[in-house]
Structure 1
Amino acid sequence: MEATPVVQQVAPLVQVWSVGDAKALLGVIASIGSEGLNPKDYNPDALSAAIAAGPGDTLNQTASQAFQWLVEDLRDGRTPMDDRKQWFVVDPDPDLYPTGEIMADALASHNIAGALKALNPTKPDYARLRDALAETTDPARRKLIKANMDRWRWLPRDLGQQYLLTNVPEYQLRLTVNNKIISTYKTIVGKPGRTATPQLAETVEGVIFNPTWTVPQSIVKGEGLGAKVLNNPGWAKAAGYKGWKDPKTGFVTVVQQPGANNSLGLMKLDMPNPHAIFLHDTPSRNLFNRDQRALSHGCIRTERAQELAITLAILGNLANTPETRKAAADEAVAISTSGKYTRVPIEKQMPVYITYFTMGVDINGKLRAFSDIYGRDAPVLASFDKPRVANRARKTDEKVVEIIDDLQT
């Protein structure tokens, strides 16, 4: 006998509201400016009229819709997907915190304000931005703060127990474990234009020590590297290149072998994604001394990359005891100095978030603005001057730009 499938009940988006709960909702709307949102987006006048008319269908419909829109904006962000340029993160929060269930819990507990407040991003950076919003009357600064508060809402509310987060305009990477930033690293990011680094949320599946680099055909064929490697074997060996031609097709493949001059340096993070974006080392470490570091072909070059790789290899060990941590550290050091291509799998989940905040808390704890190196602020700022968009897409329809080159500058 087949088991009867369990059908999960979905709480409706229109529910029964009392006048008291609706008045509490109206109070939240009146104060929502403190969260960087516009009270007018949630039809306070219509809600006031429905409250005056008393309980019934009109109050239920009006209050439910206002609550739904508040949930969507606080949980997911107000900015439409079309205005989030090169934003390829799909936020899981609408599935984890369904609107109807939040509404049902809020009405059952008669705690409308608390249910909505619980949707705010939990990272201290968001609170710092909110405090800054309350302290300034400068219109341009207020708009920039609101835009970056919203960017926190675009991300998952729970980033994980351990994760990497890099802020592209800041040229910095942070490693966070148990809500504490344990290390920061300077980064080099993509040049503006076609090679600008996109915003992603991916998972590190492994650390590759002493990586090889398969040279893209735009260089092998387009820049003549293939012919140079095949015709000058002495030069190719000194430069660390191996090349071969398919006798049937004539297709030339060139792979740069592990070594100090490898374009990927001494490590890369294996984080599969359709953009072919990853974090890696670089032999041109002097570039980390520059203030402006939008220099790569899209991938993110990382300062002190071997230290990062060894740390991740240790954190990725499932049997995380002092003894196993030491063994993992010793093994990682031996692998990293072996000169041999080695992939170390990451067993524990390690998300990596490639973000784009133009105002935030820097690595010294100061709230400041960062240069909008890719011009991604303008559409976000403009969206706040337009009416709220309902029924917003959760996924961008922007084209994925695959980054194929990462030559050293």
Structure 2
Amino acid sequence: MLEKYGQDQKETLDSDLQERRRQQGILKRQNDSALVFKQQLKANSSLTEHPEWLDSIYQDHLYKLFLIAQGGKTPFKIVEYLRKSTLHGLDTNYFYLNAIGPLLRDMEQHQLESSSLKYREQLKLEMLMASALLRYSEAMQYGLIRPDSLDKNYFIKTQAPDRSKITAVFSAPDLLAFLDSIQPSSAAYLALQKALKSGKGALNRNKEDAEQTIKLNLERLRWKNQPDAQKYVWVNIPDFTLKVIEKGSAILEMKVCVGEGRTDTDPGTKETPQLNSMIYSVQVNPIWNIPASIARKEISRYASNDPYYLSNNDIDVYKAGKRVNSPEGIDWLSTDISQYTFKQRPGEQNSLGKIKFIFNNNSSVYLHDTPARSAFKKKARAISHGCVRVEKPMELAFALFGPGKTYDQIKTAMERSYPRAKYIGLPAKVPVYLTYITAWVDEQRLLQIRNDIYGLDDLLYKEMKAREMIAE
């Protein structure tokens, strides 16, 4: 009995040892597999702009295949979904479909003979698909280009890509349903998509130019910078128009003049910036504090040619904060212009007209009236120093203030024979957006295309083409 007990104990120990060795073998294979996976992740880090995101995702999945391991035709359905990126004006190869397609077919047909090679090919396919989904998730939710990286005059508050929202594609219970949920769905976007699919040109553009402009503006509409207020002022710079939008409809529309575009001698210092802010006040019968650049380049030149230019145009000159009584005696060609400041008094000649609409920004721009009414008869109205001249200042004031004593006060002050500058605050601030849109579908369902007056379409196209983003 003692001998049999010892034999049973030995067999039990041998069995335990075998089980431990088996578990150790499994663990070693898992560790080896994870090591290979990590090596492949590192080797293919250039596939994505966010390699650290992918590493974190696969760490959560214990460095195992999970995209191509999904049952049925799911990987093929993902690929078919990515092929629809052309409907957004995007190049399918930006989502690696030229590389994914053959690998996916090889995996399905079991054409690879070496099991180790097969695993590495599966890893390659997995990483291509994961990188493609990351790119697609970001493209649909935030766009692919950071607007402020292209335009030094871009100051619209725009949401940066949110990691958790982009990587949610990998944790969604239904991946395809998630891809459905992130499709841009604004009316403006869907209308441009329909115009792109139709393949028609616009009244002033051929088919190819229209298609390219649509694709660039689809990218702009993917940026998270659209207004969400019930009421706001919207200026489209290349269209030279201003609209007051309330509850999704335009309650007022007018022509505007915007800043001059760049030239051979000016790199764009007069361009109207893209920005958003809040209109909080108006100045009736404004005083124009003439910017130093305008004083240096223009006012001093006019004054040197005509000693009475300043007084004839109601412009006061100050030095060290004190008004200069006889600026006619100053030799503006030889004097240091930086020692002087210039202010234009309220009145009929004031370049700001009889009212300006004020909002905080770092570009010193605002909306304002103008005595130069003939400018609104021009088709191309990029003629200002950067501020936005409005065609119907009284109607804009009424749209912002509404009927009542305050609006009546503004109207009366603007009609005075002896105008005095006065600030009047808005009871409720109104958002204002200065934007740059060169393609849209209007209320009559006609595709509208505008000239790229600041060359921003060209910059965006070159960037997207260089990174193989835009469908050709």
Change beyond 3 A, Cα 1:35–1:256: same
Structure 2 residue corresponding to 1:136, chosen from 196, 199, 207: 199
Deviation string for 1:324-362 (max 9, x for gaps)?
x54454444345445432333345453322222222235
Q: What is the 5 A alignment of 1:317-328?
A: 326-328=404-406
Indicate the residue corresponding to 2:283 in structure 1: 208
- What is the letter of the counterpart of residue 135 of structure 2? W
Say if 2:380 is the partner of 1:292: yes
Task: Report the counterpart of residue 141 of structure 2 in structure 1.
Answer: 75
- Give the partner amino acid of 1:125: A
Tell me, in whole angstroms, the C-alpha distance in 2 between the residues paired with 1:99 and 1:26: 18
Q: Which amino acid aligns with 1:224?
A: S
Deviation at 1:136, TM superposition (A): 0.8
Instruction: Say if 2:364 is the partner of 1:276.
Output: yes
CA distance in 1, matches of 2:422, 2:445: 37
Aligned partner letter, 1:246: A
Question: Aligned ranges for residues 89-238 of structure 1 at < 5 Å?
Answer: 89-92=156-159, 94-95=161-162, 98-101=165-168, 104=171, 106-107=172-173, 111-117=177-183, 120=184, 122=186, 124-136=187-199, 138-193=207-262, 194=268, 195-220=270-295, 223-224=299-300, 236=311
Look at both structures and tell me which one has the larger radius of gyration over its CA atoms: 2
Cα deviation for residue 90 of structure 1 reads: 4.1
Q: Per-residue deviation at 1:35?
A: 1.4
CA contact (8 A) 1:121 1:153 kept: no
Give the distance between the partners of 1:139 and 1:161, measured in 2 at CA.
Answer: 37
What amino acid is aligned across from residue 193 of structure 2 in structure 1?
A: R
Unaligned runs of 5+ in 2: 1-52, 109-118, 201-206, 263-267, 323-335
Q: CA deviation at 1:172?
A: 1.0
Please tell me the residue identity of whatever aligns with 1:212: I
Q: Secondary structure at the match of 2:396?
A: helix
Cα distance, 1:365–1:96 mapped onto 2, change above 3 Å: farther
CA shift, 1:363, in A, is 7.5
Offset from partner CA, 1:361-404 (integer Å, 9 cap, x none): 35876322212222332232233433358xxxxxxxxxxxxxxx
Q: Is the 8 A contact 1:84 1:380 kept in 2?
A: no
- Of the candidates 333, 336, 340, which is equivalent to residue 411 of structure 2? 333
Partner deviation per Cα, 1:131-153 (whole Å, 9 max, x = no partner)? 11101174433222111211222
Q: Aligned with 1:275: secondary structure? A: coil
CA distance in 1, matches of 2:130, 2:427: 43
Query: How far 1:67 sits from its partner (Å)?
Result: 2.3
2:275 maps to amino acid: L
Which residue of structure 2 aligns with residue 368 of structure 1?
448
> How does the TM-score come out when normalised to structure 2?
0.65
Structure 1 counterpart of 2:95, from 42, 48, 55? 42
Residue 344 of structure 1 aligns with which residue?
Answer: 424
Q: Secondary structure at the match of 2:144?
A: coil
1:359 to 439, 442, 464: 439
Aligned length: 362
Q: Greater share of helix residues, 1 or 2?
A: 2
Give me the TM-score of the superposition, normalised by structure 1. 0.74
